[in-house]
Every structure is written in C-alpha cells, then in structure tokens.
C-alpha cells in the first residue's frame, strides 16, 4: 500500500497517519521528495484495505500494491487448475472443452435432438437453461425443475456433462441435485449470497463475468466461492458493455490472457452472448481458442426461428459442426486439442 500525501500536508497529519499504521501492526516507510511525500506500507494489506485511509487529513491518494484476491491467484497456485466435470471430462488442461446447447430448455424431444447433434459434432457438455434471467417480467421464465429433470435425463442417456444456471440462493441445492456444473450468470456475478451458497457445495461452478466488471472484479467474485471451500471454479468471458452497438456486448478477448496471468483457474469464452448474432459467433469462437481459452460455451438450436429465447444468436447444428472442424485446427496450432472424437 502506497499512501500519497498532499503537497500541503502537515507534520502532525503525517504523524497521525504513521501512528495509525503502526497501531495496525505494520511498518511505514516515509520518503520525502521535492513535491510529494509518500508512505510505503509493506506487509499484509488486508488490514489496511478496510481502513479508510483516504479519509485521513493530508492524504491525497492510496494505491494498493498487492492484488485483493488470494486463493484464486497465480501466486497462491503456480500451476493451472484442472477441474473434473464428471463423465471423464476435465477442463483447464491440454484438452479444450466445448459446451453447447439451447439457450432455454423447451421440451424433452427438442433437447434430445439438439443434444445428439452437438454430441456428434464433438461437444462434451450440454447446456440448457431452466431458470432464465429475463429483463422483462412478461417473458417466459423457464421450465424450472421440470427443465432440470429433462436435462439430467438427456445428459445421462447420451453421456454428456450438463450445465445450467442457478439464479437464486434458494435453488442451489435443487440445481446441484440435477446438473453436473452450476452456472452463475453475468447479472449475478456480484450476488454475493449466491456466491457463498455455491461456495458451500461440491460441484463445479461456471462464473460468468458481469457486464460492467473488470477481470479483477471477476476474480474477487471467484474468491468468494473458493473461500467457501469450493475450488472447482471455471471463469467465463461473455462480453462487456461499451458504446459499440453493432454487437450485443463487446467480447473482451484480452481477458483470456490477462486471467491466465493473474489466476490458475480455467477460463472459457461465450461467443454467443458477446455477439448477439449467429453470423459473428464462429469468428469469436475461433479467436477465443487462439487467445488461449480452455473452452467455449455456444448456443445451438435446431430451429432458431422457434427458439423461446436468443434465437438470433443460435447456430444451427450444421454450422456448429463446421465450426468444430475449424476449431480443431486452431487448437492444434496453439498446442491444445479438441475432444478425441473429432
């Protein structure tokens, strides 16, 4: 922590700050320059972080030196975390994991049909929403428990890992009973009580980046889950909100290498929600793998015209299948590989 003092700071103010720092069991280093005096405080910053030093008279600015997260950091764990999703699928290692399926689970026949297609193309994880965060109260809110049951049935029948979103701290146990991986959506990235709940379970959690969140904010939210005891966290870049209006969100592709530098956790890319239009999805998916992502989350629908949500951004199975072939080559070029089957 660096405390930058105002040019007009008094000796009494400096002493007051130093006393405070010492009182917290830390050692301040004062450096006086021609224009500014600064106080460096080397040591555990956590105790200082919750002290409102900027409210002290004479303080101009307080600059943290250490990252505020611990368990998720590369410093805590040097090697990449490899997370077991069940059914033989692991993420974070050499193999790239592709998760695909409809935005919303509509009925069992349709889910089976899409699931067979994405499996054939090489996906190993089936996505499908049962609890849907909809901006309008008048939109379809998902099938709930019935949808989860369908997802489990299809996943078991086809040997696919399943993933679905949980939106409410009251539903964590229910969702965990039916699916292999629990997804926290972007709007809940800072729903801290929900993070605490999924921190207390034993299943892997996919945490999506919030639309106005920095990479560091995302890591802090992951820290909530790890600090609760659940180290099986997968991060997901799905676009942030900017002034650009030709896409639904702006995919922050740099978040992939930045996260890899700062953390040991796997990170995947969701090109569908970033683009908002299916025609852009293949380019973003390929960019994601080229940039070093550990996987992809892609919306696929067999009849996008009839999808109850996000039809405009869903790939039809044929295009998804073509994309998977191109992804294979890119994965190889960056020393990774897709599923053996393709």
Using CB under 8 A, which residues numbered 203 to 222 contact a copy of itself? 210-212, 214-217, 220-221
Query: 244 or 340, CB closer to a copy of itself?
Result: 244
Per the CB < 8 A criterion, the answer to whether 270 and 238 are in contact is yes
Give the three-class secondary structure for 145.
Answer: helix
In the list 181, 201, 275, 324, the residue contacting a copy of itself (rule: CB under 8 A) is 275
Query: 89 or 117, CB closer to a copy of itself?
Result: 117
Residue 228 binds to a copy of itself (criterion: CB under 8 A)? yes
Q: For residue 85, which phi and psi values (nearest 5 degrees)?
A: -90, -5
CA distance linking residue 114 with residue 231, whole number of Å: 31
Binding mask 279-298 for a copy of itself (x = CB under 8 A): xx--xx-xxxxxxx------
CA separation, residue 300 to residues 118, 314, 327 (Å): 8, 5, 16
Query: 155 or 295, CB closer to a copy of itself?
Result: 295
Q: Determine the distance from the C-alpha atom of residue 276 to the mean position of all C-alpha atoms in its chain, rounded to a whole number.
A: 18
Residue 302 binds to a copy of itself (criterion: CB under 8 A)? no
Which residue is associated with the tokens 């295009």?
319
Please state, as a whole number, how many other Cβ atoms lie within 10 Å of the Cβ of residue 145.
Answer: 15
Strand partners, 32: 37
Shortest reach from residue 30's CB to a copy of itself, in Å: 9
Shortest reach from residue 284's CB to a copy of itself, in Å: 6
Residue 50 binds to a copy of itself (criterion: CB under 8 A)? yes
Residue 322 binds to a copy of itself (criterion: CB under 8 A)? no
Which residue is associated with the tokens 């499996």?
119
In the list 100, 234, 274, 298, the residue contacting a copy of itself (rule: CB under 8 A) is 274
Encoded tokens for 78: 């040097």
CA distance linking residue 43 with residue 183, whole number of Å: 36
Stretch in the footprint of a copy of itself (CB under 8 A) among 1-9, 84-92, 121-129, 156-164? 1-9
Per the CB < 8 A criterion, the answer to whether 265 and 237 are in contact is no
In the list 223, 270, 294, 299, the residue contacting a copy of itself (rule: CB under 8 A) is 223
Q: For residue 313, which phi and psi values (nearest 5 degrees)?
A: -105, 5
In sequence order, the 6+-apart residues with CB closer than 8 A to the CB of 18 are 28, 30, 39
DSSP 246: S
Shortest reach from residue 115's CB to a copy of itself, in Å: 20
Q: How many residues bind a copy of itself (CB under 8 A)?
A: 111
* Site for a copy of itself, residues 241 to 270, rule: CB under 8 A: 241-247, 250-258, 261-262
Shortest reach from residue 24's CB to a copy of itself, in Å: 13
Query: 103 or 206, CB closer to a copy of itself?
Result: 103
Looking from the CA of 220 toward its CB, the CA atoms found within 13 Å total 11
DSSP string, 62-129: EE--S-S--TTBTTT--SPP-EEEETTEEESSSEEEEEEE-SB---HHHHHHHHHHHHHHT--EEE-B
* Site for a copy of itself, residues 114 to 153, rule: CB under 8 A: 133-140
Stretch in the footprint of a copy of itself (CB under 8 A) among 2-10, 86-94, 111-119, 172-180? 2-10
In the list 35, 79, 109, 340, the residue contacting a copy of itself (rule: CB under 8 A) is 35
* Site for a copy of itself, residues 80 to 119, rule: CB under 8 A: none
Residue 68 binds to a copy of itself (criterion: CB under 8 A)? yes
Shortest reach from residue 299's CB to a copy of itself, in Å: 11
């Amino acid at each position: 922590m660096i405390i930058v003092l105002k040019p007009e700071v008094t000796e009494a103010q400096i002493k007051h700050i130093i006393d405070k720092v010492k009182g917290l069991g830390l050692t301040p280093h004062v450096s006086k320059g021609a224009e500014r005096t600064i106080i460096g405080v080397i040591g555990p910053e956590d105790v200082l972080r919750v002290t409102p030093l900027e409210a002290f008279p004479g303080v101009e600015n307080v600059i943290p030196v250490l990252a505020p997260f611990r368990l998720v950091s590369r410093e805590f764990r040097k090697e990449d975390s490899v997370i077991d999703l069940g059914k033989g699928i692991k993420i974070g290692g050499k193999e790239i994991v592709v998760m695909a399926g409809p935005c919303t689970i509509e009925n069992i026949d349709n889910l089976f049909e899409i699931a067979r297609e994405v499996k054939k193309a090489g996906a190993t994880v089936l996505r499908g929403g049962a609890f849907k965060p909809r901006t309008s109260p008048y939109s379809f809110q998902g099938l709930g428990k019935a949808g989860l049951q369908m997802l489990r049935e299809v996943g078991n029948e086809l040997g696919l890992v399943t993933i679905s979103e949980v939106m409410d701290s009251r539903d964590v146990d229910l969702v965990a009973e039916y699916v292999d991986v629990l997804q926290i959506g972007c709007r809940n990235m800072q729903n801290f009580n929900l993070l605490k709940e999924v921190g207390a379970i034993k299943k892997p959690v996919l945490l999506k980046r919030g639309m106005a969140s920095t990479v560091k904010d995302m890591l802090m939210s992951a820290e909530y889950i790890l600090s609760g005891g659940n180290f099986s966290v997968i991060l997901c870049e799905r676009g942030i909100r900017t002034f650009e209006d030709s896409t639904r969100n702006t995919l922050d592709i740099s978040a992939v290498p930045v996260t890899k530098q700062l953390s040991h956790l796997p990170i995947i890319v969701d090109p569908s929600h970033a683009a908002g239009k299916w025609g852009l999805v293949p380019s973003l998916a390929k960019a994601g793998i080229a940039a070093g992502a550990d996987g992809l989350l892609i919306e696929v629908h067999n009849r996008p015209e009839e999808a109850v949500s996000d039809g405009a951004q869903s790939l039809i199975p044929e295009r998804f299948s073509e994309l998977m072939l191109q992804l294979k080559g890119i994965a190889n070029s960056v020393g990774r590989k897709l599923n053996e089957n393709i």
